[in-house]
Amino acid sequence: MTDWSRIDVAMGARSYPVLIAPAFMSRLGSTLDGLGCGPRRFVVSNPTVWRFWGQQATESLPGATSILVPDGERFKTLATVSRIYDELIRAEADRASVVIALGGGVVGDMAGHAAATFLRGVAFVQVPTTLLAQVDAAVGGKVGVNYGDGKNMVGAFHQPLAVLIDPSVLATLPRREFRSGLYEIIKYGMACDGDLFARIRTDLGSLFRRETGALTPIIADSCRIKAAIVASDEREAGPRRVLNFGHTIGHALESLTRYHRFLHGEAVGFGMLVAADLAVRRGFLPSDDAKALASLIGELGPLPPIGDLSAHETVEHVRRDKKILDGRLHLVLPTGIGHARVVSDVSEAELVESLLDAGLVA
Ligand SMILES: NC(=O)c1ccc[n+]([C@@H]2O[C@H](COP(=O)([O-])OP(=O)(O)OC[C@H]3O[C@@H](n4cnc5c(N)ncnc54)[C@H](O)[C@@H]3O)[C@@H](O)[C@H]2O)c1
Ligand SMILES: [Zn+2]
């Protein structure tokens, strides 16, 4: 079929394909058969996703056992993972069983954690249903759960057998969740691929209408970027860090507001604006490029308010972030549209200035 895209995540013996095709939901089973995936299949999902897509999943995966977990980041815990273990044991899952995650990043991270640890690891397939999971969370093998106050504190690297992406499932995604994924695509464009950045702008109307003809290539490009970086740097020692563009500040804003105010992508949207401002101040980034980024982010719609948030408290949260190495603040700064680099000498005063520019209070 011509509307298929295939991207290979090259990781030696653990290499796997990311397959993207509209109406893929009706062909999950036959695709897995073709990939040599065993017949004992367990679909982990949540009631929200299942209400829209459960019937298609059941029809396309005959004989699979479904395991539903509660919807929401607050349920991304070891307690929920242990419910998945219980269901796997009840259904007599064995080493040859395959865990299939059907849902957003929360379901993917949790089902992946269960797959990584059950019987010391069983095969795992990602069927991401949010834009964010399709372009980011489902590719790269990071799985895990929150623990105590720590986000993604407990987890593993467990690469999937395949990632099966159907852009048509995005039709039922709430608009705000859809936009949240678009910020991550802007991240790829700004940090790694100027053509992608330009295309998001040109195709924004079709993307917002969720036209699969516009979505498929943009998801494919994002996955291609993530796949290449993951293949060269699975554990984020070097190049993978560029994908943290917007994230150090984004994470700080999320944790400062206790994960209530921002969706992840929205916080990343702010984080990119602040990093771009800092890059302009340093003379790394032409101000026209920063303006192009701000205008594209603006076109997606309003971001949550930040006027009551303190720049100094945000820096406090940046300091606690596990991405600070040797006490120094590492930040990804854009150097042009499609280019970014990691700098390791950003001072807190500099960061405060840029947070104030973005509209935070002292
Ligand atoms: N593993 C990684 O590399 C990685 C990367 C980025 C983010 N993450 C994790 O991903 C999580 C966020 O993922 P998310 O943004 O997908 O959020 P999510 O999984 O919470 O999904 C958002 C909401 O959309 C609903 N939903 C999902 N698909 C739908 C569909 N097709 N139609 C209607 N509703 C649908 C969900 O039930 C949920 O209510 C966070 O926990 C984050 O830590 C992981
Ligand atoms: Zn992200």
Instruction: Give me the mean pLDDT over the 14-28 stretch.
Output: 95
Q: How far apart are the first and last CA of the chain?
A: 56
Residue 55 has pLDDT above 50, yes or no: yes
Mutate to test the pocket of ligand 1, among 177, 184, 266 (most ligand atoms within 8 A of CB): 177
Residue 309 has pLDDT above 90, yes or no: yes
Instruction: Give which of 275, 268, 254 is closest to 320, Cα–Cα.
Output: 254
Indicate whether residue 117 lines ligand 1 (CB < 6 A).
no
d(CA 71, CA 311): 32
d(CA 80, CA 342): 36
Residue that the structure tokens 């026209």 belong to: 288
pLDDT at 190: 98
Instruction: Give me the mean pLDDT over the 305-313 stretch.
Output: 96
Residue 237 confidence class, pLDDT cut points 50, 70, 90? low
- Collapsing DSSP to helix, strand or coil, 142 comes out as strand
Indicate whether residue 133 lines ligand 1 (CB < 6 A).
yes
Residue 324 has pLDDT above 90, yes or no: no
Indicate whether residue 31 lines ligand 1 (CB < 6 A).
no
Q: Which of 180-194, 293-307, 327-341 has the lowest mean pLDDT?
A: 327-341
- Ligand 1 atom with the shortest distance to the CA of 180: 15
pLDDT 10s digits, 75-105: 999 999 999 999 999 999 999 999 999 999 9
pLDDT at 356: 97
Residue 2 has pLDDT above 60, yes or no: no
pLDDT at 151: 87
pLDDT at 250: 96
Question: Which tokens in the block code for residue 343?
Answer: 């700098």
d(CA 121, CA 144): 13
- Ligand 1 atom with the shortest distance to the CA of 170: 31
Global pTM value: 0.96
Residue 109 has pLDDT above 80, yes or no: yes
Instruction: Give me the mean pLDDT over the 297-324 stretch.
Output: 90
pLDDT 10s digits, 160-218: 999 999 999 999 999 999 999 999 999 999 999 999 999 999 999 999 999 999 999 99
Residue 236 has pLDDT above 70, yes or no: no
d(CA 331, CA 339): 14
Q: What single letter denotes the amino acid at residue 259?
A: Y
pLDDT at 1: 44
pLDDT at 329: 86
Catalytic residue among 236, 316, 348, 353: 236
Indicate whether residue 129 lines ligand 1 (CB < 6 A).
yes
The DSSP H or E segment spanning 335 is strand 331-336
Residue that the structure tokens 């917007």 belong to: 246
Catalytic residue among 226, 241, 254, 266: 226
Catalytic residue among 41, 210, 244, 254: 244
d(CA 329, CA 212): 40
Are the CB atoms for 337 and 292 separated by under 8 Å?
Answer: yes
Residues 6 or more apart whose CB falls under 8 angstroms from that of 249 comprise 267, 270, 271, 274, 275, 314, 318, 331, 351, 355
Residue 323 has pLDDT above 60, yes or no: no
184 is catalytic: yes
Residue ID of nearest Cα to ligand 1 atom 9: 105
Indicate whether residue 177 lines ligand 1 (CB < 6 A).
yes
pLDDT 10s digits, 122-132: 999 999 999 99
